Amino acid sequence: MSNITEQDYIDAAHALGCKVAAIKAAAEVESSGSGFLPTGELVILFEPHIFWRRLAKLGADPATILQAHPAAADILYPHYKGHDGEHPSQQWDRLRKAANLPYGPAMRAAYEAASYGKFQVLGENHKSCCYGSIFEMVHAYEQGESYQLQGFVALVKDFGLDEALAREDWATYAAGYNGPGYKANHYDTKMAAAFKKFSITA
């Protein structure tokens, strides 16, 4: 598992037309700067409401599944509930529980409903990171943080957020990368603070 080098950051910043501090800030806000847990596993965040959405998208009825498996109520629900009290080490257990539900699309939907690595890229966006499937993306991300950085660069370009990073427009970047509810968790102000920190230490 290789870590990102300073040259990797410089190359990524050049590719996106932004400052290195902007990319370091993105990593800091998303994962506190680490792509792996102490166990060596990828840092992930499993999203039950996205699991619900992905199951429906792939042709399964999540409500029917939940009715048949009430014990899945902690990993399958229709609306975002937050992550207070959840520990990062629990996330893989939650994902595996979801993936093991006895329905055809459950495994794919579960993996696509988690975000991965140093930049917490959501699995359903694997194509924006130039991977043919979520499983290809996870395998690559497990090889090292440099792959996670490459995925981030590809995603930012595909989402058209490179200009926002370049002009340090944190609100526009936050809305595109974190979603329209970014203000609730102060994503834009966290980006601004992290960018300032890394600019000072550069």
**pLDDT tens-digit series, residues 104-141:** 999 999 999 999 999 999 999 999 999 999 999 999 99
Specify the pLDDT at position 181.
87
pLDDT at 33 over 80: no
Mean pLDDT of 49-70: 96
Instruction: Please check whether residue 126 is in contact with residue 114, taking contact to mean a CB–CB distance below 8 angstroms.
Output: no
Domain boundaries in the chain? 6-40+119-201, 44-116
Mean pLDDT of 55-63: 96
Specify the pLDDT at position 202.
59
**pLDDT tens-digit series, residues 74-110:** 999 999 887 766 777 789 999 999 999 999 999 999 9
Q: What is the DSSP string of the chain?
A: -BPPPHHHHHHHHHHHTS-HHHHHHHHHHHHTT-SB-TTSPBPEEE-HHHHHHHHHHTT--HHHHHHH-GGGGGT--SS----TT--GGGHHHHHHHHHTSSSTTHHHHHHHTEEETTTTEEGGGGGGGT-SSHHHHHHHHTTBHHHHHHHHHHHHHHTT-HHHHHTT-HHHHHHHHH-TTGGGGTHHHHHHHHHHHHHHH-
Average pLDDT in the chain: 94
pTM equals: 0.94
pLDDT category at 11 given cuts 50, 70, 90 is very high
